[in-house]
């Protein structure tokens, strides 16, 4: 574990999204030695109409990438909410409670703005799900994490 110097990892490079999609970004491994993380979501070039939404999840895998489950869900991006800028979520395995949870990649186990402070094992990925993206709707997302 590295308590002194946080390590920056890119969980999702800058990606421009222009259509409806439910996409999982390639997994990032080598995270087992860390117990805290500051996850940064950067939103830019957002042009949504009033019906467009985007949900962004941080997921972990308890079995080296076979199954995935939500560990964090950023506030839902809409036309009126979550403008261009950087948004932060803090994860701390030391503050979580032990709970029984079915591992499921349904992208809906956490409400928007929620964090589960549980072990993320060794791997994370980002999953995003857009609805009603059409016409000129577009958004660019980037997710990085400082792991400690």
How is the chain split into domains, by residue range?
A: 7-147
CA dist., res. 54 & res. 72, Å (int): 14
The pLDDT score that the predictor gives to residue 124 is 95
| pLDDT level of residue 125 (50, 70, 90 thresholds) | very high
HSE-up of 32 (CA within 13 Å, CB side)? 8
The pLDDT score that the predictor gives to residue 22 is 75
Q: How high is the mean pLDDT of the chain?
A: 84
Report the pLDDT averaged over residues 60-65. 91
- Asked if residue 42 lies in contact with residue 141, where contact means CB atoms within 8 angstroms, the answer is yes
Tens digit of pLDDT for each residue in 13-59? 999 998 777 788 889 999 999 999 999 999 998 989 888 988 999 99
The pLDDT score that the predictor gives to residue 97 is 47
The pLDDT score that the predictor gives to residue 99 is 43
Task: Indicate the CATH number of 7-147 among 1.10.760.10, 3.40.50.720, 3.20.20.70, 2.60.120.380.
Answer: 2.60.120.380
Report the pLDDT averaged over residues 89-118. 67
């Amino acid at each position: 574990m590295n308590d002194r110097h946080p390590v920056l990892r890119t969980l999702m490079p800058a990606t421009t999204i222009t259509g409806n999609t439910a996409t999982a970004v390639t997994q990032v491994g080598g995270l087992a030695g860390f117990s805290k993380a500051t996850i940064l979501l950067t939103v830019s070039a957002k042009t949504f109409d009033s019906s467009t939404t985007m949900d962004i999840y941080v997921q972990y895998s308890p079995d080296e990438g076979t199954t995935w489950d939500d560990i964090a869900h950023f506030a839902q991006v809409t036309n009126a909410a979550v403008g261009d800028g950087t948004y932060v979520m803090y994860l701390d395995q030391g503050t979580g409670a032990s709970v029984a949870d079915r591992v499921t990649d349904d992208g809906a186990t956490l409400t928007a703005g929620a964090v589960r402070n549980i072990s993320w094992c060794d791997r994370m990925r980002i999953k995003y799900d857009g609805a009603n993206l059409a016409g000129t709707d577009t958004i660019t997302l980037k997710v990085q994490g400082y792991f400690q």
